[in-house]
Structure 1
Amino acid sequence: MKQLPKIVVLTIISIIAYSCSVKKDAFLNRNFHALTTKYNVLFNGEQAFLKGLEEVRNKHQDNYWERLQIEPITFDDRKIVAPALQPGSGFDLSTAEEEDENRNLTKFDKAEEKAVKAIQKHSMNIKGYEKNRQIDDAYLLLGKSRYYTQRFIPAIESFNYIIANYPKANLIYDTKIWRAKTNVRLDNEKLAIESMKLLLELDKNEKTLTDLQREKAHTALAMAYEKTDTIQKVIEHLAKSTETFTDKEQAARNMFILGQVYSELNRKDSAAMVFKKLADYKKAPYKYRIRANVELAKNVENDTASLVVLYRLKKLIKNTDNRKFLNALYYQAGVLEEARDSIDDAVGYYKKSLAAKNNTDYQKTFAFERLGNIAFNKADYIDAGSYYDSVLQVVPKEYTNLKRIRRIKRKSKGLATLKKYEDTVTYNDSVLGLVAMTKDERGAFFEKYIEKIKKEDEELRQLALNTQNFGSSFGGGSSFNASNRGKWYFYNTQSIGFGKAEFEKVWGTRKLEDNWRISDKSTNSQDQNEEEVEASTEKVNKKYQLATYLDAIPTEKKEIDALVEEKNEALYQLGLIYKEQFKNNERAIANLERLSKEKTDNKLELPINYHLYQLYERENDKNKSDYSKNIIVTKYPKSTFAQIILNPKKKIDESKKEDEDYLKYKEFYYLYKENKFQEVVNEIDKYSLSGADSNLIPKFALLKALAIGKYQDKDTYKKALDFVALSYANTVEGKKAQEIIKRLEKNKK
């Protein structure tokens, strides 16, 4: 009896040793390895795979302003390196985990390692047949892990091995679907389509696919057809993949994408129907239902249906569970209100969208753009420019080359130029207004201004003192800031900052030393006393002294004339910008008419009247257009502008004439290069250009001006350049002429 325990132990060890063999096709061996594979190695591998899949889903960020990806994966651009997997690592899981950590494997790498371990240690391939029923699962896990680490060729090999060696496995259909998806990633769409069509054709007769597998097959086909841009097939298979709604996450996603496709094709009714169905389907994930309501609002017609959708959005906005979707809900409510001409309500919603939490920079670009467009349509160009600038500041780098963003960039640039000229006119008007005042009027004006800023500064000082006292009453500021604890002055950082600013305002920057009030300590005590008196007088801030402002007013005629000329140039440029870029005839006319009344010389008379003539024609103001026309044809009958007005219906072969103009321009240019400057001027004056639409007119004008500069005096040269700069201000030649004028003026100084 004493030997019995030893016999039992030896028997158990013998059984285990016998069953561990992968070369013996026995009941005990097969079940031992199957159970060990499933509940030990594969279990850990599948858990790692599921965690990796969760990380992928969390990492992926959908942009609902674009068509969603059918499979929500954001692959890294980094190079994928296959982990070095060593066979025979044993069953010690703690040791295996340590090795995993040392190699810094991803979750998918760990899943792959477990799959490889299962195959290497537990495969029972006996006489060409696999006896371990879990090995096909290991190969599938191996292929899926490689798929998510972007190693698609090795993944295909794993799937092909299953299909070739386990044709009757219960996961054979899943494997074929995974292989099709992998082929799509490898740009083998035709192969993927053929395999999935074959699978679905066979299923029609045998009915062997489950609802989930059928959904996945149609999803894979939609992915493949999307790659080939066969949009009708994409619609067909997305619709079929949503019929059973077994995989709620993917089915809801497919339905959402189906609605987006309809919307892109401008099939608004179909899109609205799909989005409404998804929004009302309670089994769908909540994020897709909310987003479906937003998309429904995008696809609704501007009629009574829009009121119903707007009501839905407002109801969703009131629900506190939807806080993380408020940016999109507010924005779309604003779009609907704007479509109903409720502009104030729309602006309010757009601003709420911008202020909402969980916002994205790309979402913000749309709200800023809408606000900019509203301001622009109201002719509030300064605010519009600010909103467009905000779009450019927040737009993510990957979207900077979009056509929409490039258009906003051009618009913003034009508005920035407009603001520059508007600011110039405003500033110069204010300075010239002060110049026109009498001495007493200036004194009274600035005394009133000084009183105003004194009052404002006193209010700010009192506010700072109140802040200081508030902080002191609580022990020197916030109890959470260690540097502010205590009631002593120097424990309060706010008080220190205020005191330092006040000190420097009165005394400037002084060294920490004896007699710090005295700037020069080399003088005698009498001088020191005098300097102390002077220092006390310095306590009066210069911005409170009347002389500071009176001395800044220009008195020299040259300075005043420069201000007038700069203002006139700004008015002219404003007229052109409003006329050509923004098509605002009213403001263009206002600036040009003002310039026409205030101009001090006649160099602008011709271009001003030509632009006014065109603007009055647009506005059907016959009397004023005739007035400007008479000035041009009477005073400047030989000008190009006069010829254009007198011969508006001249019939010419535009393309042929343009070619002739170009050849003539080349001819005159060669004369210029041969230093025949006077001949260039004479020939250009004699040559008749093709008309108002010729792109070469500014080129001829600039070439003539440059030729004049080579043999005539500087004043004549400058007048010729002025004509080009003012007449063709928005062309390359006009800007070039302006640059030359600036250089001439600089050299003159």
Structure 2
Amino acid sequence: MKIFFKAPLIFACSILLLISCSRKKDKFINRNFHAVTAEFNALYNGYNALEAGRNSLNDGYSDNYWDVLPIERMQISEEIVLPGQSKNENFNTAEEKAVKAIQKHSITIEGKEKNPQIDEAYLLLGKARYFDQRFVPALEAFNYILYKYPASDKINQAKIWREKTNMRLDNDELAIKNLKRLFKQEEPEGQDLADASSILAQAYLNIKSLDSAITQLEIASNTTKNDDERGRYRFIQGQLYNELGKKDSANLAFDKVIKLNRRTPRIYVISAHIEKIKNFDYEKGNKFELLELITELEENRENRPFLDKIYHQKAVYYLSNASDSLAITYFNKSLRTNSLDKILKAKNYEILGDMNFDKSLYQEAGNYYDSTMTSLVLNSKPYRIIKRKRDNLEDVIYYESIAKVNDSILNLVHLSKDERIAYFEVFIEQLKIQAGKAKEKAEAAERNKGLVTVNNTIGNQPLRTGTPTQTTMFYFYNPTTVAYGKNEFVKIWGDRVLEDNWRWSNKGNSGAEKNLSVNNILVTASEDELFDTEFYISKIPSEAKEIDSLSKDRNYAYYQLGLIYKEKFKEYELAKSKFQNLLKSNPEERLILPTKYNLYKIYELLGENSEAAITKTDIVSNYPESRYAIILTNPDSASEKDENSPESLYETLYQQYESHAYADVISKSEEYIYMFDGEPIVPKLELLKATALGRLYGLEAYRKAINHVAITYANTLEGKQAQNIEANVLPKLASSEFIQENDSITNNYKVVFTFENPKTGQVADFQKTLNEVLKKIRYYTLKSSIDVYNANTTFVIVHGLKNGQVAKTFNQLYTKEDQKKIKKSYFAITSANYQIIQIHKNLDAYLNTGITLNK
């Protein structure tokens, strides 16, 4: 009996299923079959994929709490995606499911959609494209809903998402206009109202209308059902109030975030606390309560992931209360948390750098600025600001290191033998202590055989050494041991570059320059020599020439430091100390007078009038003919444009250079370099002299002079320019091979008249006559110039010829009368070959090459 009923029942169900699968009939069973199948199959799986994609976006997105947060947590990528490709496979899956729902379950009869789930499919399609950052296709999907399904219950959502997309396409004004119309016509409620208000707030933010954005965020915060969103909206409200300078309103908004506590992400709560602390008024507020709050945040176990921010804020608190040592401690604690917030790390390093700068510890400040730049975006505005600060310290760090090293060596030079032995005995004792510690560590490392053995077994099974685990690790898998090893390496060897022969003494680049010489000696010492006082004593310079060189370098460094502290940093006490030390150190004669004059100016600035008067009398009495004495005795006549000032003399010298008086420029430059030694004008004079040497004597002389500037004045603008010339320009000038002259590839020729050891006025008279002749030549626009070849030879050159044969037969262009005036012989040459003979001074080689013109 059961079998009798079962067969017809199966048959009837099959017929019913086949009838309901049809998408061409507008029947109740057809509509609901496709609606249910679309909703609980394709759309369900599509929304799951969409949610997975959104979660992955959120996991990979990091907010920048140093700036106003965006309303929506979404990182816009600049990466170009080709058609058919997707940035996230989950969004691709969601789009495929939406398309599948539309293709397989749409029931369109007489132009009308009968399946109530298809508008949901188009909404899913648009969202998937939106989060995949394909905004134009997303806009098409949302517009299709508005066009095809005006009566849909998803119409408000479609409008909101369309305006989100418009905003992403930088159509902020259009988004604002459409959202305002939505509020007026539809009056959305609940989550739709929250979403629309938040998007409108973002559009106002984009056009910098902060007041309007705050108003919309208030609506969104009150109507959203999601506490995560509420916490974010309230926090952004507080940020915007801060932007407007309304700290009280900002603090009220942050209090609302804090009140949410565990109902919203912890980062919003902590950031709200931090922003309130930043808004604290240190003049009127209760500092004790503030410290209590920060300490409470620090001690709360839930806040461990945010200790980098809390430590930083506690350091700022101590810094504001002039507790510098505690501030330094907490800035360093913030850095040791290995924070992922690069801006926070950069601020920590920068503040520590500024603190050292204010204490005139420029070496340490420079190191902190270096670290700051590693945490900033290359060539960004903050990076350029820090780099400018660091560059300003370059010279002072360089000269301080020279002064410290040479002072240390010279102090040893002046010690008696017994004092030297006592000094190195103390030093060797310290070495032995360090060696003992190193030996203990080596023995421990040998026992551990490269492993950190917290627990060598699990149960009775030994752990494998090839795979890192929580209880035992290979050395390089453990960040603590690796960091320790790095620190030990730097202490012993300095900051060395990864390259061959890194142990060589000249490879050291340690930041502790004062220990550089000792480190180099330790590297080269044998085991017996390492603890032998005589070995170290033998390394102390003994030759007068070497000691004199050290003394000169040290004195020059003192002078440069005095100038830098006085002119660049306005650290007059430091400058005074350097200049006074210089005068006590038996300086060269050329440094004494400028040092005394700078001391006089510093005494005036510090109000030490008696010292200033003594120094002035000294200069005027002992150097009455000097420029400084003239300035001091008659200050009204002395001005920055005084004809005897370095700047004026340099300008005059440069005019002589442009007039081809290279020999005079070289001799005068040498005179001025000696006269103004130590002043900022000297590198300019050296570079001008190098250029004049090159023009007069050729490439080899130019190469040597440029190398001298690049090495001697490495930290100046002119020194860096010389380094660039040496690296990039000189290699291009190295070839002295002449170019075969051919009219098909060469169209610039010169006619050159040569004068050997000309008499005064001879060359100028010839050029005057030549110019008169050139004016009469028809069909050609020609002009002449005078150029120096070397100290004995001068050229008069005719420019403007485009044909080689015409250049060779140039005298045939003269009239018969003019041929009597211009009887001097000449040679023709291309512009390229003329450049070669001037660079390499190889005129004779050119004339002997027999280069011919090919017509």
1:425 pairs with 363, 380, 403, which one?
A: 403
- Tell me if 1:181 matches 2:158: no
For 1:147-162, what aligned pairs fall within 5 Å after superposition? 147-162=130-145
**Post-superposition offset of 1:603:** 0.5
Distance 2:690 2:80 in 1: 60
**Post-superposition offset of 1:426:** 2.4
For 1:603-614, what aligned pairs fall within 5 Å after superposition? 603-614=590-601
- Tell me if 1:586 matches 2:573: yes
For 1:298-447, what aligned pairs fall within 5 Å after superposition? 298-302=278-282, 303-356=284-337, 359-393=340-374, 395-396=375-376, 399-415=377-393, 417-447=395-425
Residue type matched to 1:610 in 2? Y
> CA 1:280 to 1:637, structure 2 compared with 1: closer, same or farther past 3 Å?
farther
SS at match of 1:48: helix
SS at match of 1:567: helix
CA contact (8 A) 1:431 1:553 kept: yes
CA contact (8 A) 2:87 2:132 kept: no
Residue type matched to 2:532 in 1? Q
Residue type matched to 1:169 in 2? S
**Post-superposition offset of 1:262:** 2.7
Distance 1:637 1:259 in 2: 69
> CA 1:700 to 1:48, structure 2 compared with 1: closer, same or farther past 3 Å?
closer
For 1:253-332, what aligned pairs fall within 5 Å after superposition? 253-282=232-261, 283-302=263-282, 303-332=284-313
* Partner in structure 2 of residue 167 of structure 1: 150
* Partner in structure 1 of residue 33 of structure 2: 32
For 1:547-696, what aligned pairs fall within 5 Å after superposition? 547-636=534-623, 641=628, 668-676=653-661
* Partner in structure 1 of residue 77 of structure 2: 76
For 1:9-48, what aligned pairs fall within 5 Å after superposition? 9-48=10-49
**Post-superposition offset of 1:318:** 1.1
Distance 1:266 1:422 in 2: 44
Hey, which of these two has a bigger chunk of strand by percent? 2
Distance 1:274 1:578 in 2: 48
**Post-superposition offset of 1:467:** 6.9
Unaligned runs of 5+ in 2: 467-474, 476-524, 671-678, 697-705, 726-855
Distance 2:30 2:258 in 1: 54
- Tell me if 1:140 matches 2:123: yes
Moved more, 358-367 or 310-319: 358-367
- Tell me if 1:241 matches 2:220: yes
**Post-superposition offset of 1:116:** 0.6
**Post-superposition offset of 1:124:** 1.0
**Post-superposition offset of 1:65:** 1.7
> CA 1:564 to 1:176, structure 2 compared with 1: closer, same or farther past 3 Å?
same
**Post-superposition offset of 1:657:** 11
SS at match of 2:115: coil
Distance 1:613 1:298 in 2: 46
> CA 1:167 to 1:104, structure 2 compared with 1: closer, same or farther past 3 Å?
closer
Distance 1:738 1:6 in 2: 97
> CA 1:37 to 1:630, structure 2 compared with 1: closer, same or farther past 3 Å?
same
* Partner in structure 1 of residue 52 of structure 2: 51
Distance 1:400 1:738 in 2: 23
When normalised by structure 2's length, the TM-score is 0.66
Post-superposition Cα deviations, 1:501-534, rounded to whole Å, max 9, x if no partner, equal xxxxxxxxxxxxxxxxxxxxxxxxxxxxxxxxxx
Post-superposition Cα deviations, 1:156-192, rounded to whole Å, max 9, x if no partner, equal 1111111112112111111101000101111111211
CA contact (8 A) 2:139 2:165 kept: yes
* Partner in structure 1 of residue 831 of structure 2: none
CA contact (8 A) 2:53 2:88 kept: no
CA contact (8 A) 1:238 1:255 kept: yes
Residue type matched to 1:430 in 2? S
SS at match of 1:304: coil
- Tell me if 1:6 matches 2:3: no
CA contact (8 A) 1:372 1:383 kept: yes
**Post-superposition offset of 1:136:** 0.5
Query: Percent identity of the aligned residues?
Result: 38
* Partner in structure 2 of residue 64 of structure 1: 65
SS at match of 1:243: helix
SS at match of 1:410: helix
When normalised by structure 1's length, the TM-score is 0.75
Residue type matched to 1:289 in 2? V
**Post-superposition offset of 1:465:** 5.0
Hey, which of these two has a bigger chunk of helix by percent? 1
Moved more, 458-467 or 166-175: 458-467
1:214 pairs with 174, 177, 193, which one?
A: 193
CA contact (8 A) 1:471 1:478 kept: no
Distance 1:30 1:264 in 2: 55
> CA 1:592 to 1:287, structure 2 compared with 1: closer, same or farther past 3 Å?
same
Distance 1:82 1:49 in 2: 20
For 1:451-530, what aligned pairs fall within 5 Å after superposition? 451-454=429-432, 456-458=434-436, 460-461=438-439, 464=442
SS at match of 1:412: helix
Aligned length: 639
Distance 1:482 1:35 in 2: 55
Distance 1:706 1:139 in 2: 73
CA contact (8 A) 2:156 2:192 kept: yes
Distance 2:553 2:232 in 1: 60
Distance 2:138 2:720 in 1: 61
CA contact (8 A) 1:80 1:150 kept: no
* Partner in structure 2 of residue 520 of structure 1: none
CA contact (8 A) 2:395 2:715 kept: no
> CA 1:466 to 1:113, structure 2 compared with 1: closer, same or farther past 3 Å?
closer
Distance 1:235 1:157 in 2: 31
SS at match of 1:250: helix
**Post-superposition offset of 1:647:** 6.3
Distance 2:202 2:310 in 1: 30
SS at match of 2:539: coil
Residue type matched to 1:435 in 2? V
CA contact (8 A) 1:275 1:292 kept: yes
Residue type matched to 2:379 in 1? N
CA contact (8 A) 1:25 1:131 kept: yes
> CA 1:460 to 1:12, structure 2 compared with 1: closer, same or farther past 3 Å?
closer
Distance 2:87 2:685 in 1: 70
Residue type matched to 1:410 in 2? R
Distance 2:201 2:689 in 1: 65
> CA 1:232 to 1:649, structure 2 compared with 1: closer, same or farther past 3 Å?
farther
Distance 1:702 1:544 in 2: 48
CA contact (8 A) 1:297 1:310 kept: no
